[in-house]
Amino acid sequence: MADVVVVGSANVDLVLPVQRIPRPGETVLASGLTRGPGGKGANQAVASARAGASTAFVAALGADDGGALLREALDGVDLSLVQTVDQPTGTAIITVDADGENAITVAPSANATLRLTPEARAALGEAKIVLSQLEIPFGTVQAAAEASRYFILNAAPAAELSDELLGHVDLLVVNETEAEAVAGAKLSALLDRVPAAVVTLGAEGAVILTRSADEVRVPAVRVEVVDTTAAGDTFCGVLAATLAATSTTASDLTNAVRRATVAASLSVQTAGAIPSVPHGDVIDARCAEVYL
């Protein structure tokens, strides 16, 4: 079975490059339109596989051209647990401004139907790492957490989370906005709810919080940003893959966050979601340069 199982969403991304993201009530003109594969779960599964982990994906796709597009894009990922449902494949509309920042609106569609099959539950129980996000039903996330040996939750999009769910989370990965939704403005308060957390801080890097060790800061890798789409997903997938290949101790978590940070910096230099996810050899070569 796979070392990493990702339970999550898969979307067709409609990407609109704009000079700036429109304000409420405003219309702006895009300089083009591209259609490609994406979705937090799909992005993270590809990132894990490209980073070197045997990776399976639990998701729901429609029996449409969007589903076919995603299946083809998920090369290297075990798709035997992907369900085909009587709903259109999920769609994300992504506006990307001249600085590479984005705004995303998602129509979940097939993603909203995702439930765990007995086969999926068995795969989760055998995996070293299970990774999930919040673009699928909370009940499915809860069930995945309960079935896992080591569960990473990327709590995105931002949402209030129950103690019942967080009680099964081994590692929480959030940005500052998502962290505030979980535990308020004080980052250290996350440890009142989960045993370990990684908070990504954009250009400021990331901070690692664990109950068993001191806070660790991992600096960002400075690059020219083209498109931030899937940077966080790349981070999460590479983090999961690296932990699966090493361990979940505090020292290995720090090294995994460093590798994930480098991978995210590589992803923002290329437009698109899945097309921007780097391969393991590229990540490791860049790590050797950054962490001499």
> Once rounded to an integer, what is the mean pLDDT over residues 80-96?
96
Strand partners, 151: 130
Determine the pLDDT at residue 282.
97
> Which tens digit of pLDDT belongs to each residue from 111-166?
999 999 999 999 999 999 999 999 999 999 999 999 999 999 999 999 999 999 99
This prediction's pTM:
0.94
CB 196 within 8 A of CB 70: no
- Burial of 117: CB neighbours in 10 Å, binned 0-12, 13-18, 19+: exposed
Q: How much is the pLDDT for 62?
A: 98
What pLDDT is attached to residue 185?
A: 83
For residue 219, give the DSSP letter. P
Share of the chain above pLDDT 70, in %: 100
Local confidence band at 35 (pLDDT 50, 70, 90 cut-offs): very high
What residues act catalytically?
Answer: 233
* Chain centroid, CA 93 distance in Å: 17
pLDDT for 272 = 85
Q: What does the domain layout of the chain look like in residue ranges? A: 4-10+38-88+109-290
State which fold the 4-10+38-88+109-290 domain adopts.
Answer: UDP-N-acetylmuramoyl-L-alanine:D-glutamate ligase (3.40.1190)
pLDDT-derived band at 202, boundaries 50, 70, 90: confident
